[in-house]
Amino acid sequence: MTHSYVHQTVKETRSNNRAFASKFAKSMFITVSFLIILSYIGTRMFTHIDLNLYGYMVGTFVFIGGFFYRFIAWGERPPTKIFIKKGIKLLFRKSTPKTSANHLATYSFIWDRGIYRWTQHLLIGWGVILSCFVTFPLVFGWMYFTMEENGYYTVVAFGLDVMRVQADGFIAFFFYNALNFTAIAVIIGVCMALYRRLKHMQARAEQKFIYDFMPLYLLLFISVTGLILTFMNVFLHGQGHYVMSIIHQYSVIITLIYLPFGKLAHIPFRPLSVFAKNYREHYSEQSMKKCKNCSTEFVSMEQSEDVREILHENSIHFEMKEGFNLAELCLPCRRKYRMSRFSGVPTHTVNHKEVNQDAKG
Tens-digit pLDDT string for the chain (361 aa)? 445 544 554 455 555 557 777 778 888 888 888 888 988 888 878 877 777 888 898 889 889 888 888 888 888 888 888 888 888 888 888 889 999 999 889 998 898 888 999 999 999 999 999 999 999 988 888 888 888 777 888 888 887 888 888 888 888 888 889 999 999 999 999 999 999 888 877 777 778 888 888 999 999 999 999 999 999 988 888 888 889 999 999 999 999 999 888 888 888 888 888 988 888 888 888 889 888 888 888 888 888 888 888 887 777 777 777 777 788 888 888 888 887 777 776 666 666 555 544 444 4
- Return d(Cα 345, Cα 112) in angstroms, integer: 34
Q: 189 and 141 in one domain?
A: yes
- Sign of the four-CA dihedral 7, 10, 15, 21: negative
Distances from the Cα of 158 to the Cαs of 38, 120, 141, in angstroms? 8, 34, 8
Residue 9 lies in a domain: no
The total of structural domains in the chain comes to 2
Strand 143-147 and strand 152-157: the pairing is: antiparallel
Residue 160 lies in a domain: yes
Q: Is 229 exposed, middle or buried (0-12, 13-18, 19+ CB in 10 A)?
A: buried
Q: 26 and 156 in one domain?
A: yes
CATH number at residue 154: 1.20.950
Residue 325 domain boundaries:
288-349
| Dihedral-angle region of residue 186 (phi above 0 means left; psi in -120 to 50 means alpha; beta otherwise) | alpha
- Return d(Cα 231, Cα 242) in angstroms, integer: 13
Residue 318 lies in a domain: yes
Q: 148 and 57 in one domain?
A: yes
- Return d(Cα 345, Cα 336) in angstroms, integer: 10
Q: 246 and 121 in one domain?
A: yes
Q: 292 and 322 in one domain?
A: yes
Q: 200 and 292 in one domain?
A: no
The last residue of a domain, from among 216, 243, 270: 270
- Return d(Cα 55, Cα 41) in angstroms, integer: 21
3-state secondary structure 275-344: HHHHHHHHHHCCCEEECCCCCCEEEEHHHHHHHHHHHHHCCCCCECCCCCEHHHCCHHHHHHHHHHHHHC
Residue 53 lies in a domain: yes
Residue 154 lies in a domain: yes
Q: 143 and 37 in one domain?
A: yes
Residue 101 lies in a domain: no
Q: 257 and 126 in one domain?
A: yes
pTM of the predicted model, to two decimals? 0.79
Q: 171 and 247 in one domain?
A: yes
Residue 10 lies in a domain: no
Q: 58 and 28 in one domain?
A: yes
Residue 246 lies in a domain: yes
Return the amino acid letter for 18.
Answer: R
